Structure 1
Amino acid sequence: MLDIQNDKTNTRTHEMEGKCPFGGDRIGGAIGTPPALSDWYPDRLKVEMLHQNGPQANPLGDDFDYAAAFDRIDLAALKQEIKTFLTSSVAWWPSDYGNYGPQMIRMAWHAAGTYRIADGRGGAGEALQRFAPISSWWDNGNTDKSRRLIWPIKQKYGSALSWGDLMVLTGNCALEIMGFPTYGFAGGRHDAWEADSATYWGPEVWDPTKVQSPDSMVNRDKRWHGQNGDADYDLENPLAATHQALIYVNPEGPYANGDPLGSARDIRIAFTRMAMNDEETVALIAGGHAFGKSHGMVPADQIGAPPEIAPIEAMGLGWHNPVGTGSGEFTMTNGIEGSWTPDPTQWDNSYLENLFKFEWEQTKSPAGASQWTPIDPSAPRTPDAHVQGKMNPLMMMTSDIALKLDPDYRAVCEKFLGDFDAFTQAFSKAWYKLTHRDMGPRERYLGPERTLENDLLWQDPIPPLDHDPVGDADIAVLKQAIMATGLSVSDLVFTAFSAAATYRNSDKRGGANGARLALAPQKDWVVNQRTVPVVAALRGVMADFNAAQGGSARVSLADLIVLGGCAAVEQAAADAGVDVTVPFTPGRRDTTQDLTDIEMFTWLKPVVDGFRNYVDDQFETIARDVAPEELFLDKAQLLALTAPEWVALVGGLRAMGANYDNSAKGVFTDRVGVLTNDFFTVLTSMDYEWKKTDATGMTFSLDDRNTGQSRFQATRSDLIFGSNSQLRAVAEVYASGDGHTRFVKDFVKVWDKVMMLDRFDVRR
């Protein structure tokens, strides 16, 4: 009887593989993989992206002080440990040429290289290379091995050394041991603890169970608009990678077509989206390819699954190579095989020298990838990375030949060929920019190597505080002076929010500090035109106050803009019957036009800013098939808001009439400038019905159900708070009989949060 039962159990166990253990054939519930909401409702607004990487995912807790922990590290000793490791080799993944440096440079480069200027997302800052989808992109092949190799160092230093900092520092140490003088290193990167489900990496749908190198995606890549060769042929914003699963470009040329000039076009588009100019682009490519080799000994279709879907016994490692040892001389990464220089572990100028000295012909790697080999048989050869005494021909990629054939890139190369010191300095500064671009203001930088002689323009510098900030008594005087100007609550709130709303938590750029609202390009944006007379009036208050102070505390324009908003919110709350004190932390500084990179700040100009009910006139061309509320959500995520904070902030801004054009859209109240909860009571009322007022469904009218009379006007950025179930659930709290006081207090909290997002001078 026991044997029969065991047989039945075994049969049932086999039958239930892949099924829910709680009965039936459905895969779902707490265990299993149910269809995602996006599968059922592809157009739903994914509000949950606001709660990604929340405190519940962080094992270190909210009270962990990473800056204090990192500052206790002996950085010199840590660097020496890394350098000692770099010149070693372990059996399970032997180093090329007895030096792990080149592959660690690639790891750091690919971690930082996901950064894009359009929305500030990507970069090394959160070490997202550890998680899907980035961890399993084809272009990141074998970076999983690099991270496992340095795990013993991470394990030793624990929470005091983030993965983000370790990866970049290891790249720096790798450059240094091979004779390259780095520009510096700053710690301060805070690791993420879960996969990034918010960032849009591209429109393509692909099968992750199959090896898909970039050349296998011909006619499937949807990120390009227009026809190849036309003037309007361009890469979809905000993307920077030219093809799916790549960091920058396909090294074999677009879709592996071997076209150097097509590759040059792709390189320029991709690196421009990465905030790099032509000189920085050449410096990074030529500098990076001065070291190490590319790997292409085994065809792609023989390589196993990427880490995210590799077998469980692989323990998070992917791209299993079944040929030979699977590593060393059998290594397969991007399919191209060989080294660019005769001495791959030494900083020199031989990459550019060989590129220009010899003619190159297209050949194939052992894996079948397109690459280039010198035609001249007398060209120098490079030692094999693993086989003693074996010599191999030099190699160039299509993306290397592009630098020689493109006229502008060629001019930069020729400059570097004639001045190796200039090349060294350019690569040093470009590498520093690449690996630190997403870190934000210098106040976030940690460690003894963080101090530089000069601020760099891409760091958005703000001069140091050269006076005492105002105290409590001064703040009270300034509030009275601001309100005495006759500026409205609406205008003051709008101006303060406009200054702060440029902030992006992705790369820590923007915000009210620096008062760049008063400088080009921000002062000229259509969305900011309401702020111009307000800033002029506040300049008058500043001049009068500072003149009266003499040598004592002074106020900056940046502080005054924020203080004006805080005073206005207090007035609006009082007029609504709620007494509140809005927190204000002085100490902001004013920067200058010379310290403001107009081109780089132009990227912060919003296409949609639902907080101020703004939609760019070119929205349909720029955003294509994206709805305004989706970009509104994107902006809320860049401001690091939760769903309740988003709802409260919008309700308050609408009540105080903070639309960019002073329109009545979404201002569901007869008491504009008073911090009521009218926005929510009207939004949730069933006494009215909403009707489209234009064919595209962008604007709406609120009509009384009984009389048919139009009561209010609205946009999609208003109605989303009543139509989306998750946002409506929060709106109902504030619309309830006991919701008004709660709303005012919640608005004040989120207002202070937004005003303080860029205050890294008081927090790191």
Structure 2
Amino acid sequence: MQQGDGHTGGKCPVLHGSNTNTSAGVADWWPNALNLDILHQHDRMTDPMAEGFDYREAVKSLDVEALKADLTALMTDSQSWWPADWGSYAGLMVRMAWHSAGTYRAADGRGGATTGNQRFAPLNSWPDNVNLDKARRLLWPIKQKYGNSLSWADLIALAGNIAYESVGLPTYGFSFGREDIWSPEKDVYWGAEKEWLAAGRYEDSADRDSLANPLAAVQMGLIYVNPEGVGGEPDPLRTAQDVRITFERMAMNDEETVALTAGGHTIGKAHGNGRADAIGADPEGGGLAEQGLGWSNSNGTGHGRDTMSSGIEGAWTTNPTKWDNGYFYLLFTYDWELKKSPAGAWQWEPVNIKEEDKPVDVEDPSIRLNPIMTDADMAMIKDPEYRKISERFYNDPAYFADVFARAWFKLLHRDMGPRNRYIGPESPQEDLIWQDNIPAGSTAYDVAATKQLLRDCGLSQADMIATAWDSARTFRGSDLRGGANGARIRLAPQKDWVGNEPARLATVLSSYEVIAEQTGASLADVIVLGGAVAIEAAAEAAGFTAEVPFAPGRGDASAEQTDVASFAVLEPVHDAFRNWLQGDFAASAVEMMLDRAHLMGLTAKEMTVLIGGLRMLGVNHGGRKHGVLTQREGTLSTDFFVNLLDMGNVWRAAGDEVYEIADRQSGAVKWTATNVDLVFGSNSILRAYAEVYAQDDNREKFVKDFIAAWTKVMNADRFDLH
């Protein structure tokens, strides 16, 4: 089949508009249409692996020692098509792993190294990821060799770890278990800009803390900050503000920030030896003959000393293929002045540096060149707090190496969940507070007797269901944080969150603590079991006998195991499932409902059945009646869907995102509702689900589907069960 000009006439065999990218879609015709794609991505249809394939089991058969040996050999196996700087790929592999893990942001737990998403757009073509396509292509023979027992996500992260070991850093450890995705992620909001490196994600550009949530990077297409300075204008003190805010949003403190900055720049170099306008299209925009590679470079040979990446040119240390304290030695030994790289980028270079302190050229060791620093590097000695930390690291290299190794481990593993999910012989046994570890709970108590105590405890069904929901709804599939396991809802900060109704919560927990003491069950189990008991009663009131599945064994985390500041980002400011929204937001309540449902791992069907069921159970925040479209509150009925879709009603606005549902004949108001209620009748996709549950023959199906979705939420953080 010929391409391009090879068409010689006749009828085109492609049915235009059926599946091409050029046809107009729903979003083109109706830009404000609700997009439910976030709830339907990464399903079995995109996965090439066999039904039932379990990567976390497959990786346990991996020959880790052989793999590490192969990766170590690769570090110095320079390939002619992409020669290694000074004969070592360590710097390149570190940058690849760093830029994979470094997309993580604490606000929503998205990004990070756990999915191998750097293989796909937009990340594979970000300006900050220039030439990382070469790093992944260098790894391909190893991926090909180890096959299904080694994911790309694990391989990319491990390559960075082995790179550091190859230059002499004792790393802290490594865990396998990152599962690959097979298509670009639709759930990560990288910013609203429509062009690379555009600025505009600050409410006030002078206030660097006004960076739009949940973003961490300062510009579209950057991992962190602009290396030349804020807006490309060098000013280390101002850049320090960007660095601090960005790393805080990645869950790193000042000491970890300095360690990562220094350790990342201890090996390797920046590349900018040539004209920036000589660089070709990114991988996603390249032609067929490029075969997924991008950024072709017509500067000289296009690689080696002529490589173009960031535009900044030079190494940070005298010995860029060795782990040492050279970064701080140069920073503190010399004065630094601004200069332009060959590509025209701002960079800092030392004044009157000794010849022996200069790094050698990547191709010719007889040539010595100036080292460089970025504006972010200069911030490490210009910002007063960063300077104190830098001085300590300079004077105590062993301490610096230890802090860096731990921070690097955290960077690679922050989104992998608690330590009991770690796989492999090098997984550290130390409990780290950022892992949110939870002790194992008892399974040796009488569940039936505990359920009876809960039935007799005097609490309302709504209070029991709301408490179980509030405990579990914090779960985020993005970084496996939150959830009911650990019963952290009884600890600071969660016990005081407005969304958890502290006064009501305290009353419920006081009763539950007595039951836990009597039975030997964990409080976490009692909270979840209380919700199950109440739902079973509500199903019985609807005429169905149902048992909510329950698996004992949750543990109770202690205050010492809970990083209060770290958990603050999990605080809900909205919950469509309990029809609650606090404050004003740029996103609509409906969009935030989809975002929360996705973080909890729910499908559109599961979201629909949970919303409808929870409305009927009367668990709205603060006892509000919006969306409680029934005369039999507390019954697990389909009334929400039946009454929402009833054409005997009329729907009308009655205030800020509040609506009235009135009788079409008399005009009498029957119920009130919010936009997250009415969307299940107005959106064509959600209405299709609502119609299923409004059918007379699906009342029992509704109860079964609700219980299944409820159980999924309650068990989302029971990693021992799935």
Q: Give the TM-score, by structure 1 length.
A: 0.92
**Contact kept in structure 2, 1:494 and 1:531, CA below 8 Å:** no
Contact preservation (8 Å) 1:20, 1:32: no
Contact 1:342–1:394 (8 Å) recurs in 2: yes
The partner residue of 1:747 within 706, 710, 713 is 706
Alignment of 1:86-97 (within 5 A): 86-97=75-86
- Given the alignment, which residue of 504, 510, 518 partners 1:536? 510
Counterpart Cα distance in 2 of 1:35 and 1:311: 24
- Structure-2 residue corresponding to 1:727: 686
Q: State whether residues 440 and 553 of structure 2, in contact with CA within 8 Å, keep that contact through their aligned partners in structure 1.
A: no
Alignment counterpart, residue 564 of structure 2, candidates 585, 598, 601 = 598
- The 1:168–1:11 alpha-carbon spacing in structure 2 relative to 1, beyond 3 Å, is closer
Assess if the C-alpha contact under 8 Å between 2:209 and 2:245 holds in 1. Answer: no
Paired amino acid for 1:762: L
The question of whether the paired residues in 1 share the 8 Å contact of 2:613 and 2:706 is answered with yes
Match of 1:503 in 2: 475
Q: Does 1:307 align with 2:283?
A: yes
Over residues 82-128 of structure 1, what are the superposed CA-to-partner deviations in whole Å (9 max), with x where a residue is unaligned? Answer: 10111111111111111111110000000000000000000000010
TM-score between both structures, scaled by the size of structure 2: 0.97
| Distance in 2 (alpha carbons) for counterparts of 1:20 and 1:506 | 44
3-state SS in 2 of match to 1:372: strand
How far apart are the structure 2 equivalents of 1:299 and 1:610? 52
Q: Give the secondary-structure state (helix, strand or coil) at the position aligned to 2:337.
A: strand
Identity %: 48
The one of 415, 418, 437 aligned to 1:441: 418
Q: Distance in 1 between matches of 2:9 and 2:191?
A: 38
Q: Aligned AA for 1:596?
A: T
SS of the aligned residue for 2:7 comes to helix
- Asked whether the equivalents of residues 118 and 238 of structure 1 are also in contact (C-alpha less than 8 Å), the reply is yes
Partner of 2:60: 71
Establish whether residue 632 from structure 1 lines up as the match of residue 593 from structure 2: yes
Residue number in structure 1 paired with 2:19: 30
Partner of 2:650: 689
* 2:29 alignment partner in structure 1: 40
Q: Distance in 2 between matches of 1:38 and 1:344?
A: 49
CA contact (8 A) 1:441 1:760 kept: no
SS in 2 for 1:749: helix
Deviation for aligned residue 1:11: 8.3
Distance (Å, rounded) in 2 between the aligned partners of 1:510 and 1:62: 29
Partner SS, residue 548 of structure 2: coil
Structure 1 residue 577, shift from structure 2 partner: 0.7
**Alignment match, 2:574:** 608
> In the TM superposition, what is the alpha-carbon distance from 1:386 to its structure 2 partner?
1.6
Partners of 2:153 and 2:180 within 8 A in 1 = yes
CA distance in 1 between counterparts of 2:412 and 2:639 reads: 47
The answer (yes or no) to whether the contact 1:225–1:233 under 8 Å persists in 2 is no
> Which residue is equivalent to 2:529?
563
Asked if residue 361 in structure 1 is aligned to residue 337 in structure 2, the reply is yes
Shift, 1:567, TM fit = 1.2
Q: Do residues 83 (structure 1) and 72 (structure 2) align?
A: yes
Counterpart contact for 2:359–2:371, Cα < 8 Å: yes
CA contact (8 A) 1:20 1:31 kept: no
CA distance in 1, matches of 2:226, 2:200: 16
More moved, 440-449 vs 335-344: 440-449
Which residue of 1 is the match for residue 454 of structure 2?
482
Q: Which moved more, 1:141-150 or 1:297-306?
A: 297-306
Distance in 1 between residues matched to 2:492 and 2:9, nearest whole Å: 67
Look up the equivalent residue of 1:739 and give its one-letter code. Answer: N
Matches within 5 A, 1:334-353: 334-353=310-329
Where 1:714 maps in the other structure, the secondary structure is strand
Instruction: Say whether the 8 Å CA contact 1:329–1:387 is kept in structure 2.
Output: no
Q: 2:494 aligns with which of 516, 522, 544?
A: 522
More deviation, 61-70/416-425? 61-70
Q: Does 1:195 align with 2:154?
A: no
How far apart in 1 are the matches of 2:329 and 2:68? 32
Q: Which residue of 2 aligns with 1:283?
A: 259
Superposed CA offset, 1:39-65 (max 9, x none): 322222211210111111111134112
Aligned partner (choices 226, 251, 257) of residue 204 of structure 2: 226
Report the CA distance shift for 1:400/1:20 in structure 2 as closer, same or farther (over 3 A).
farther
8 Å Cα contact 1:501/1:754 also seen in 2? yes
Matches of 1:20 and 1:267, distance apart in 2: 54
User: Alignment partner of 1:322: what SS?
Assistant: coil
Determine whether 1:145 maps to 2:124: no
What amino acid is aligned across from residue 490 of structure 1 in structure 2? A
The alpha-carbon deviation at position 609 of structure 1 amounts to 1.1
SS in 2 for 1:674: coil
Secondary structure of the 1:256 match is: coil
Distance (Å, rounded) in 2 between the aligned partners of 1:197 and 1:602: 26
Q: 1:670 aligns with which of 624, 631, 634?
A: 631
1:433 partner SS:
helix
Deviations 1:222-281 (A, max 9, x none): 2111241x5x85100000111110001111111211121221111111111101111000
Tell me, what secondary structure is at the counterpart of 1:373? Answer: strand
Q: d(CA) in 2 for partners of 1:369 and 1:261?
A: 19
Runs (4+) of structure 1 exceeding 4 A deviation are: 9-12, 19-23
1:639 Cα deviation after fit: 0.8
**Counterpart residue number, 2:143:** 154
Q: CA, structure 1 residues 536+242, in 2 after alignment: closer, same or farther (shift >3 Å)? A: same
Structure 1 CA distance, aligned partners of 2:339 and 2:685?
57
Alpha-carbon contact 2:651-2:662 (below 8 Å) kept? yes
Task: Report matched runs for 1:11-26 at 5 Å.
Answer: 13=7, 21-22=13-14
For structure 1, which segment, 683-692 or 506-515, has the greater mean C-alpha deviation from structure 2 after superposition? 683-692
AA partner of residue 298 (structure 1): G
Shift of residue 464 of structure 1?
A: 3.5
Where structure 2 has 5 or more consecutive residues not aligned to the other structure, the ranges are none
Distance 1:15 1:200 in 2: 44
SS of residue matched to 2:561: coil
> 1:649 maps to which residue?
610
- Name the count of aligned residue pairs: 717
Q: Deviations over 1:277-323 (max 9, x none)?
A: 11000000001100010100122221111111111111111111122
Secondary structure at the counterpart of residue 382 of structure 1 = coil
SS class of match (1:603): helix
Q: d(CA) in 1 for partners of 2:516 and 2:134? A: 57
Determine which of 340, 359, 364 is the counterpart of 1:382: 359
- Looking at structure 2, the residues matched to 102 and 706 of structure 1 have their Cα atoms a distance apart, in angstroms, of 74
One of 154, 161, 168 as aligned partner of 1:165: 154
3-state SS of the aligned residue for 2:113?
coil
Whole-Å separation in 2 of the counterparts to 1:702 and 1:523: 35
5+ residue gaps, structure 1, are 1-8, 207-211, 546-553
Q: Are the structure 2 counterparts of residues 130 and 664 from structure 1 closer, same or farther at C-alpha, using a change threshold of 3 Å?
A: same
Quick one: distance in 2 between partners of 1:580 and 1:305? 59
Q: Shift of the alpha carbon at 1:32?
A: 4.5
Deviation string, structure 1 residues 347-403 (Cα, Å, up to 9, x no partner): 111101111111111111111111111111436211111224221111111111111
- State the alpha-carbon separation in 2 of the partners of residues 417 and 276 from structure 1: 20
Shift of the 376–77 alpha-carbon distance from structure 1 to 2, 3 Å rule, reads same
The Cα shift of 1:658 comes to 1.4
Code of the aligned partner of 2:204? G
| Larger deviation, residues 353-362 vs 37-46 | 37-46
Give the 3-state SS of the residue equivalent to 1:570 in structure 2.
Answer: helix
Q: Secondary structure at the match of 2:626?
A: coil
Q: C-alpha offsets along residues 597-647 of structure 1, whole Å, 9 cap, x if unaligned?
A: 11111100112211111111xx32xx3x21111111100000111111110
Question: Structure 1 237/416 Cα, relative in aligned 2: closer, same or farther at 3 Å?
Answer: same
Deviates more, 1:534-543 or 1:423-432: 534-543
